[in-house]
A and B are shown apart, each in its own frame.
Chain A
Amino acid sequence: MVGTPAPEIASVTTAASGPVATAKSETKALSFFYGGFQALKSISMPIYEKKVTALIGPSGCGKSTYLRCFNRMHDLYPGNRYEGQIMLYPDNTNILNPVVDPIEVRMRISMVFQKPNPFPKSIYENVAYGLRVRGERKRALLDEKVEDALRGAALWDEVKNRLNDLAFNLSGGQQQRLCIARALATDPEILLFDEPTSALDPIATASIEQLITELKEKITILIVTHNMQQAARVSDYTAYMYLGELIEFDATDTIFIKPKIKQTEDYITGRFG
């Protein structure tokens, strides 16, 4: 199945930046149930390759639930149930298929959480952790990967002389960039961000946003944010969700200047009540 071309999704306005993107992933009629409660209702949308897609919507709309489907985090709790598919291209894998190993999915699709959550280990070991889990033992290769990941997360220059310090000694913004480095170390294809700056000050927030803009040259990014201005600043595409449904998905410029659906307009302009 390797090499199956990604489908083109034509109904979406092309983002201002660059030509029509190809889909890295496509969600098809995804519903999700926490036991008897249906949290996602038949979501269908593409995630474009090397673009930033933002998920916005009021609390409880299902955006974090949707994000977590991408690395099978819901598998950790009994009673949770998926319907539909999340296809990953180019190999055309349905990552929700029970026969697909969630550990393998998490290697390919990494996640960064709301609050920085480094392990109680050294800076170096935090970044090397995923690689060690994967069975990597060669010190030289680990060193190289750790440096690459820390450079990728714009943290290398700040920590290169204290790699063996405890990660908790870093500032909040640095800890979050360390978590991004940890996520990058396994060379993921998609990076998931769940409100990555809500616990950070404006300066640390700006540095994470700058990092997201740099990372999208190599990686596909999906970000959940409560901060609409942040979605407008960093994303190429935006999805507005409400009560478990996808209301509108389009280029970010379109969503923030001329959304097609009134519900989106009301939310974007602060008329949601």
Chain B
Amino acid sequence: MPTTEHLSKQFDVDLESLRSRMLQMGGLIESQILAAIDGLYSGNLHALEQVIENDRRVNGFEVSIDNDCSHIIARRQPAASDLRLIMGVSKAVTDLERVGDEAKKIAVVSRQIHESGRLQVPRLGDIRRAGGIVVSMLRKALDAFARLDAVAAAEVIRDDAAIDEAFRGIMRQLITFMMEDPRTISTALEIVWVARALERMGDHSKNMAEQVIYIVKGTDVRHTTFEDIERKASQ
């Protein structure tokens, strides 16, 4: 990646602002995930409402960053690494916004569970653990974006296997609960949505990490094997 500045200082300012706003959006989403999972455990309806409300800010970030990307393309006709950065940011922002949607989904489901007063499924600890993995993946993906670090991005892609495994574990447990005690069925089905949302967040973080590799290496690693990705990231 070129480290020198553009002849046009304004171009540097525009690109830097784009990147920092994306990271700001990422920070907001990270706090949304944590708040939604906390809400699931605590039943703090006010906090859950806040997560649902904040999703508007997330959406606003997406629209405004995409708008900035269009402006830079129209005014600067970026090429090479600049073009890859704009394309990568535009795609990653879509993934970030969807992570935000999943956080909102967790908040909505949690509110339903607590409003109906039927949190009867034991061992929800696995959800918190999966949430921890997801937040760590998202944070790493954002860090890789900030530092344009392809090797760190490849690690995020590897971590996706852990969240997939956690999802399968939660599903197995929920099925067992439902078979053992049919009274847990309605809540368990709602917890399935939460687990599913976390698994999707992992996928979106992985997509973002793939964009980092594209920006840094110019290689599109989507739909390739993990071994390929690791090799290309470290080349």
Contact = CB atoms under 8 A, between A and B. Distances in A.
Interface of A: 228-229, 232, 256-259, 262, 264-266, 268-273
A257 B6 CA distance: 17
B81 interface: yes
Contacts of B76: 270
Contacts of A272: 7
B80 A258 contact: yes
A229 B11 CA distance: 17
Given A257-B84, A262-B2, A269 B79 contact: yes
A248 to B, nearest CB: 11
B176 interface: no
B78 interface: yes
Which of A228, A257, A262, A271 counts the most B-chain CB atoms under 10 A from its CB? A271
A271 B218 contact: no
A42 B80 CA distance: 27
B18 to A, nearest CB: 15
A269 B82 contact: yes
Contacts of B79: 228, 232, 256-257, 268-269
A258 to B, nearest CB: 3
B233 to A, nearest CB: 15
Nearest to B76: A270
B6 A270 contact: yes
A270 B8 contact: yes
B80 A269 contact: yes
11 contacts: A256-B79, A258-B84, A258-B218, A265-B80, A265-B81, A269-B2, A269-B80, A270-B6, A270-B11, A272-B7, A273-B7
B77 A269 contact: no
Contacts of A262: 2
A259 B1 CA distance: 11
A50 B218 CA distance: 28
Contacts, number: 46
Interface of B: 2, 4-8, 11, 76-84, 218-219
Contacts of A258: 80, 84, 218-219
Contact of A257 (B4, B8, B80): B80
B83 A257 contact: yes
A269 B82 CA distance: 7
Contacts of A268: 79-80
Given A229-B77, A257-B218, A258-B218, A273 B4 contact: yes
Nearest to B82: A269
A229 B83 CA distance: 13
A232 B80 CA distance: 11
Nearest to B78: A269
A266 B2 contact: yes
Contacts of B8: 270
Nearest to A259: B80
B6 to A, nearest CB: 5
Contacts of A229: 77
Which of B4, B5, B8, B76 counts the most A-chain CB atoms under 10 A from its CB? B4
A191 B78 CA distance: 29
B167 to A, nearest CB: 35
Contacts of A270: 6-8, 11, 76
B78 to A, nearest CB: 7
A264 B81 CA distance: 11
Nearest to B5: A271
